[in-house]
Amino acid sequence: MTCSLCNKEILGDSHNAHPIGNEECCSECNSSRVIPLRLFLSGIYQNKALVLNPDNSIAFIKPRGTAFELDELQEQVKGYIEVYPLRIPRHIVLVNEEGLIHNMEFNNLASRVFGMKAVGPVMICPEAIFE
């Protein structure tokens, strides 16, 4: 069986990849992506944002100060920010406003988790740290 996230063969235990689809994934993807994503989506992290990258990696970003400045948000989406019309309670979803113009890669991870049709990095920022 191959991992539905990294496409490598699953050698040890397999895990349900939900919310990144409902197929199986390997232990490494489970601990590096699936579990952190579940924790984030439970809303327990109000002090950091989640970034979903087109290469299927995820990152957690904390603001320099008490909330993100515009340049920090732009750095994460790699350009001008645009609020994406997706409702996640107490969070704001940001994408690159010019992602299509710049031929950024389709964000498969955001598609699988949220059904988003977005290109480039997707940033999910708690309202508490969004100015």
Per-residue interface string for the shown chain with Zn ion, residues 28-47, x marking contact by CB under 5 A: -x------------------
Q: How far is the CB of 7 from Zn ion (least distance, A)?
A: 7
Binding segment for Zn ion (CB under 5 A), chosen from 12-20, 24-32, 65-73, 97-105, is: 24-32
Q: Which stretch binds Zn ion (CB under 5 A): 18-26, 48-56, 85-93, 98-106?
A: 18-26
Alpha carbons 51 and 63: distance in angstroms, whole number: 13
Query: First CA to last CA across the chain, in angstroms?
Result: 45
- C-alpha span between 65 and 62 (Å, rounded): 8
Binding site for Zn ion (CB under 5 A): 3, 5-6, 25-26, 29
